[in-house]
Amino acid sequence: MRRLLVIVEYDGTDFHGFQIQKRRRTVQGELEKALRQITGEKIRVTGAGRTDTGVHAAGLGVHFDTEWSKSLPVLQRALNAVLPSGIALRQLAETPPDFSARFSARSRAYRYTILNQAVRSPLAERYALRVSQPLDAGAMDAAARCLIGLHDFGAFGTPPRGDNTVREMFAAQVMRDGERVLVDLKANAFLYRMVRRIVGTLLWVGQGTLSLAEFREVLEKKRCAGESVAPHGLCLIAVEYDL
């Protein structure tokens, strides 16, 4: 039996999130179906996280156990040949037997893309939230940097299990790239809907309706956070491991 780590890229538009669901098309379900087709084994995969419906990934770590005896490049090519076009296996590597795509992860990095223009763009808006009102990306960046460090992020999300809402944010940045405003967040782990509610609150800052001091009050749970923004602008960029 071998434990393998695969780095998965997918367009989440046509999937009901990562986690397997009955009668719903999910990324996990498609991965397990492809593994059964190629290996003949009934394999359960474990992801580093569970992205919501419509959220994308450029580098989600997933591990699974298999009795596959041929080379890993052969397995990778075979799986990519049968997976739907919206999913691709970017890398495949063997790991120690106690490795976990979820618990062995050192960090996770997300990017939320905002299209800041008045006129709609059907192509760009598949992967970005369009905001027609001008945004002050500098003010949003200053607010985002308040998130760096060890904090209770309960104002922005709920834990996937238990009641611990403390997370460590390693990096937080907002930058403008032409008409796009990019929100980059990197932490040891994230709460459910945490990134999307942070972005919703940063939008208030960018629109001038929430000051930097008031943003800090949100983090301190003295003020309510913004609404969770739409999922299609969110992408899990990378998961970092010590291997």
CA–CA separation, 78 and 185 (whole Å) = 34
Q: Which residue has the tokens 């397997």?
A: 20
Outline where the chain has alpha helix (H). 27-39, 72-82, 137-144, 194-207, 212-219
Catalytic residue, candidates 11, 14, 52, 136: 52
The answer to whether the CB of 171 falls within 8 A of the CB of 147 is: no
52 carries an active-site annotation: yes
State the amino acid at position 171 in one-letter form. Answer: A
Burial of residue 190 (CB within 10 Å: 0-12, 13-18, 19+) is buried
Which neighbouring-strand residues pair with 53?
Answer: none
CA–CA separation, 31 and 23 (whole Å) = 15
Which neighbouring-strand residues pair with 105?
Answer: 241
Which neighbouring-strand residues pair with 114?
Answer: 129, 181
Active site residues: 52
